[in-house]
Every structure is written in structure tokens, then in C-alpha cells.
Amino acid sequence: MAGDTGNIKVKIDNVRKVFNGRNGEMIALNGVSLDIKENEFVCVVGPSGCGKSTLLNIIAGLEELTSGKVYVDGKEVQGPGTERGVVFQQYALFPWLTVRKNVEFGLKLKGLKQEEVGKIADKYIKMVDLEEFANSYPKELSGGMKQRVAIARAYAVNPEVLLMDEPFGALDAQTRTQLQSELLDTWEKERKTCFFITHDVDEAIILAQRVVIMSARPGRVKEIVDIDIPYPRTQETKMTKKFLELKNYIWSQVYQEYLEVRK
Ligand SMILES: Nc1ncnc2c1ncn2[C@@H]1O[C@H](COP(=O)(O)OP(=O)(O)OP(=O)(O)O)[C@@H](O)[C@H]1O
Ligand SMILES: [Mg+2]
């Protein structure tokens, strides 16, 4: 019932995912439940292979779940939708389109006029600092540049929910810091619901209102940590006592799970 979900934007209800791989059944997710509120910024951390990308792909409607349900605005997810924008872990660009055409792609799907499409594409290509490469093709770009195109493309369509899978993972430290700041600015202005996966605990704390720690495979929600640091957050925030306490705590929890994987 819609009334029951209140201001919950994304509801993940007891999701289980079993892959039938070469070595038989593999339980990737087991009983994952999480409510993400409207306007909330949630980061997800956990050891490699714990099912973070699988969960994101299920929310995106790109991967089928084995059991359980995912709802967006109280409606069950049964496939992809334009209200959910995705930045994949492996930048998924159209190789036959230029940077500009890649960014414009979703805008055209939305039926915007060419003049507006061009203006919005300009804004986001500038945001990721790729004006000089607007007419280049993906194969002419470095990994980090491709990822910046993927980010521009996701932001440009202005989705209600942003699903981001380690979007800054392939970037150098300076670009990464720059894009974290841009994302924080954008989020403070527009307050989109964000589901953001990262390996970087600093990044999770600087961005999120809540950090979800996942357990080693089969992935479950191990713990949810409230990040009670007010916004705006800046690079200086990373030097505060509160930040360092949270960092130590979350890092040790993730490390425990990492050790589980190695057992
Ligand atoms: N299409 C698939 N077929 C079979 N197994 C899969 C498939 N996709 C993922 N898996 C398995 O599911 C588990 C979870 O994978 P997933 O990519 O979700 O992990 P992750 O937490 O995103 O890891 P990383 O941090 O390394 O990106 C892994 O053991 C992986 O091998
Ligand atoms: Mg992943």
C-alpha cells in the first residue's frame, strides 16, 4: 500500500539472488532489505564479491531477482525506467557515438527539443571537463575520461534516483575529489535520491547520510551507520574528529568482512 511507504523512495524487501554458474548455485544476495528515503544519499560499502553491483542492477531493473521485491515510489520494479539513472562500474558508453552524442542520447529519448538537448549536454560535458573531447569517440579516451562521460550522461537526464556503482573508482585523486564536490553541490541543490557504491570509506562518509555495510557473500545488510555530520561538507570535514571516528569504525567493520572472504 502506498500509504505504508510514506516518503520511502526505494524499498528493497527481502531480496535474494542466486546465480546458476559453472560451479553450480551461487547465492549472491540473501535476504537484503533496505528502505531508502526520498532525497536520501545512501552509500554502500562491503568486500569485493559481496553482491553490491548485483543489488544495484536489480534496483535498476537490469537483473532479475530470485525472490523478494524492489519498489520505487511504491511500484514494483519490473525493468529499467527513466526515473532511475545508472552509472555502471564499467563505464558503458555507446562506442559508435561521440562524447556529445552519448550525453545527448537519454535527453533525446525524453523527447526534448534539439536546442535544449544541446544546452544541457554542454552543461554536463563542461562539468566533467571534457569540452575539448566533445567530438571524440570513446575509444579515443582514457578510462577515467570514459567514466566522466558516463557520469555526465547519467546526470544530464535528471533522474529522480541516481544509482552509481563505484563511479569515481577509475579516476585520479584530484578528479575524484573534484567530482565528489560537484556531486555534493548538486545533491544539496536538488536532493535526488542517491544509491552510491564505493570501496572508499572516506568517500562514503563525505557523501552519505547513511552508510550501509554489507557482509561477505552471501551479501546481507550487516549494519547501517548514520553519518551525523552536517552539510555542506568539504575536504576539511575529513580532518574532523567525528569523521575520523566514523572512518575507523566503518573501516574495521568492512575489514572484518574482508577477512571472512579470505577464510
Ligand atoms: N552474471 C553472473 N553470473 C554468475 N555469477 C555472477 C554474475 N554476476 C555476479 N556474479 C557473482 O555474484 C557475486 C557478487 O558479484 P557482484 O559483482 O555483485 O559483487 P560486488 O560486491 O559488486 O564486487 P566488487 O566490489 O568487486 O565490484 C560474485 O561472486 C560474482 O561472481
Ligand atoms: Mg561491483
Q: How confident is the model at residue 214 (pLDDT cuts 50, 70, 90)?
A: very high
Query: Could you tell me the distance, in angstroms and rounded to a whole number, from the CA of residue 172 to the centre of ligand 1?
Result: 25
Q: Could you tell me which residue, 131 or 263, shows the higher pLDDT?
A: 131
CA–CA gap between residue 142 and residue 102 (Å, rounded): 16
Query: Could you tell me the distance, in angstroms and rounded to a whole number, from the CA of residue 51 to the centre of ligand 2?
Result: 7
Pairing of strands 210-214, 41-45: parallel
Question: For domain 2-83+159-262, is the CATH number 3.50.50.60?
Answer: no
The secondary structure element, H or E, covering residue 52 is helix 52-60
Does the structure show a pLDDT above 50 at 223?
yes
> Which DSSP string do the residues of 153-198 spell out, in sequence order?
HHHHT--SEEEEESTTTTS-HHHHHHHHHHHHHHHHHH--EEEEE-
Instruction: Please say whether the dihedral angle defined by the alpha carbons of residues 146, 148, 130 and 155, taken in this order, is positive or negative.
Output: positive
pLDDT of residue 169: 86
Does the structure show a pLDDT above 90 at 261?
no
pLDDT of residue 94: 94
Query: Could you tell me the distance, in angstroms and rounded to a whole number, from the CA of residue 54 to the centre of ligand 1?
Result: 6
Report the atom number in ligand 1 closest to the C-alpha of 17: 12
Report the atom number in ligand 1 closest to the C-alpha of 214: 21
Closest C-alpha residue for ligand 1 atom 17: 53
Averaged pLDDT score across all residues of the chain: 92
Q: Could you tell me which residue, 50 or 110, shows the higher pLDDT?
A: 50
CA–CA gap between residue 155 and residue 153 (Å, rounded): 6
CA angle 88–213–55, rounded 5-degree value: 35
Mean pLDDT across 195-214: 97
Query: Could you tell me the distance, in angstroms and rounded to a whole number, from the CA of residue 131 to the centre of ligand 2?
Result: 29
Query: Could you tell me the distance, in angstroms and rounded to a whole number, from the CA of residue 192 to the centre of ligand 1?
Result: 27
Mean pLDDT across 111-122: 94
Query: Could you tell me the distance, in angstroms and rounded to a whole number, from the CA of residue 119 to the centre of ligand 2?
Result: 33
* Whole-number Cα distances in Å, 44 to 17, 198, 247: 17, 6, 14
Cβ of 21 closer than 6 Å to ligand 1, yes or no, is: yes
Q: In this structure, which ligand is nearest to the CA of 52?
A: 1
Report the atom number in ligand 1 closest to the C-alpha of 63: 1
Cβ of 218 closer than 6 Å to ligand 1, yes or no, is: no
Report the atom number in ligand 1 closest to the C-alpha of 46: 21
CA angle 71–74–79, rounded 5-degree value: 40
Cβ of 52 closer than 6 Å to ligand 1, yes or no, is: yes
Q: How confident is the model at residue 17 (pLDDT cuts 50, 70, 90)?
A: very high
